[in-house]
A = this chain, B = another copy of it.
Amino acid sequence: MRNNTLGSLIWLRLMRFTNQSNQMSNDFLKRFDLTTAQFDVLMQISIYQPLTQMELAEKVTVTQGGISRMLVRLENEGYIVRKQDWKTKTISLTAKAVSILEQAMPEQLAFQTSFFDDVLNEEEQTTLYTLMTRVHKHSQKKELPPE
């Protein structure tokens, strides 16, 4: 029954790895009272602020509904402010979020980096990045096969 292709093995590997490292990252970020998803969203806001919810949703590849709920939580925690600007809501970070990010960002970057630095040299990392970039870019313009 198991006639796996190389591609399907890569796929599973990627899924298991991201799943696992995501959990570890959640664990790590507990010291800053953040989850990986929240950190990701706050980072994107900090880079592109001020921006609308639609724009943000696209950056983190989440639906409008998903970003709406996430922002409600972040707003309740006092990390962001939204103000109705015209018919759009513009998002920006609070001082609290800025100061937490300042601490958390370098540490989280180092944490992410350590997954690769520990086992791959620079050349191998460049190769991995190049290959994954090609795969990712391709997937973005991929169509669903016909039924």
Cβ-neighbour of A114 out of B7, B113, B126 (below 8 A): B7
When each residue 1-37 of chain A gets 1 if its CB lies under 8 Å from chain B and 0 otherwise, what string results? 1111111111101111111111010011001000000
Cβ-neighbour of A14 out of B5, B14, B31, B117 (below 8 A): B14
Kindly state the separation between the CA atoms of A88 and B15 in the bound complex, as whole angstroms: 28
Kindly state the separation between the CA atoms of A139 and B128 in the bound complex, as whole angstroms: 16
- In the bound complex, residues from chain B placing their C-beta under 8 Å from that of A129 are 6, 9-10, 13
A145 lies within 8 A of chain B by Cβ: yes
- A16 CB to closest chain B CB, in angstroms? 6
- In the bound complex, residues from chain B placing their C-beta under 8 Å from that of A134 are 119-120
Can you report 28 residue pairs joining A to B where beta carbons are below 8 Å apart? A1-B46, A3-B109, A5-B113, A6-B116, A7-B114, A7-B117, A7-B125, A8-B112, A11-B115, A11-B116, A13-B133, A14-B132, A15-B22, A17-B132, A17-B136, A17-B139, A19-B61, A20-B140, A24-B142, A24-B144, A28-B145, A114-B142, A119-B134, A119-B135, A127-B131, A128-B128, A128-B131, A128-B132
